[in-house]
Structure 1
Amino acid sequence: MTRKMEERNYYKLKKRETGMNGGVKVSKRGQIAIFVIIAIVIIAVILVIMLYPKIKIITGGTPSPEEFLKSCIVNDVKSSVDLLAKQGGYANPEGFYVYNDQKIKFLCYTNEYYKTCVVQQPMIETHFEQEMDRILEPKARDCLTKLKQEYESRGYSITGNFIDAKTGIEQGKIKVIFNSPLTVTKASTERFNDFEIGIDSKMSDLLAIAQSIVEFESVYGDSETTAYIQYYPDLRIEKIKLSEGTKIYKLSDVITKEEFVFASRSLSWPPGYGVSQ
């Protein structure tokens, strides 16, 4: 009798542990954990959709428009930056100093002695962008034509025209925006208003430092370059003083190897007078 009662009690205990239908009973803590995991997955999917709206599902190994345009123009962007940076931000500088067979734009200049210089370009970064726009626009137009040809060769119908391309120099990158509304159709239709590509660059920092140095040159006739290195540990500055009063500034990033070079002539002294150059 006692043994039968023990067996019934054991059976009742097992039913409570496993549930009435004999299945595995999930604890409340386990249920909460499952709901949390499902919620995280749902949120992750929503974030992908929100943060990457320009990801396009284009089959058959066709690159996205942004990928194609970046691969087409990236080398031209780098070469135009290199050209402008060596010449004070100008493709064809006027008012320059020839140093090592390179025309270097005076960004602050006076031809008089004992006087501080006059700023020649008060908006260095903006002018740099405008020069890049002029250099890159023909190439950007050509890249868009090649994009249309590539898509048409893969069976897509693509309509739209190139309007212009604008360059933007931002912290840590240079971006190129193709203002080119396009409609791409195959199995489905996708519409693009513009295309933006980004290329890693520290040119923004170099141009900001150059602007600051030019301001010091125009007010005080010189600049204390060591102060900048305290705030920009990857920065290297060379200041080359020449006999007739011209100074060549070379600003470079030791990590990216990018460089910006410009000239200044301010508070100069005649040979044999005043302070030593």
Structure 2
Amino acid sequence: MAQLLGPAEIRGLAAELDVQPTKKLGQNFVHDPNTVRRIVELSGVGAEDTVLEVGPGLGSLTLGLLASGAHVVAVEIDPVLATRLPVTVRERAPEAAARLTVLERDALRLAPGELPAPPTTLVANLPYNIAVPVVLHLLAELPSLSRALVMVQTEVADRMAAGPGSRIYGVPSVKLAWYGKARKVAPVPRAVFWPVPNVDSALVSFERAARPDTAADRAAVFAVVDAAFAQRRKTLRAALASWAGSAERAGAVLQAAGVDPRARGEQITVADFARIAERQRSNA
């Protein structure tokens, strides 16, 4: 049975490695075993899963995931932490060491060919400044990922899970909806981290679903999304003027797609954005 890391072990490892957690890398290490167990339980992973963990840090969550019986592929950008993680696992969960693969990589540049097996689940305590780009990149590059549970800043969690009509519905909400359904699951107390962050955190779950039924590709749909929210206070007719070539052209495309030109981006669904992209493509 894996021996999970507590506050004393986390601080001891950090001292041994001379690790000073940095804001640049978003390093706030979880030191509460009960929080780790809860994350693993909520993720639903088991022996049949290959889990992709981004930013394993000192290994708190890694040990919990291995205790579930899953295979874990841990992607760590910090070479010192990447080198130490297999040692920590051998020391605290020797029976699970063979189920761990550590890749010293930038998750934003991770490609399928670098992984030993197609991962089924993403579970991670993500650096707040790159959380959404990382999730979107991995969902695009790794179609085998059918679900995810990520810990992010609360405000980011709210935006990821927001639906049309919400004040915080925006680019992250729509682009995640292209791949499936995101849902805010639970708050995470600041006190479970070292160092204690100055922001609140929350868990977001994700389930992949069929993409919208459209002939437009992802890049085309995302271009419409970016344009619509670049000037979110404007109507879609005005916001999409540059994208379409003119306000008149944008209005015609929106009407052809069955979307009110007076609507704003935060009022429409990912399926609506897909229809807009498809109509522009068919009339180009």
Tell me which interval the TM-score lies in, with the shorter structure as reference length.
under 0.3
Judging by fraction of residues, say which structure has more helix: 2
Q: Please, what TM-score do these two structures have when normalized by structure 2?
A: 0.22
Structure of higher CA gyration radius? 1
Q: Please, what TM-score do these two structures have when normalized by structure 1?
A: 0.23
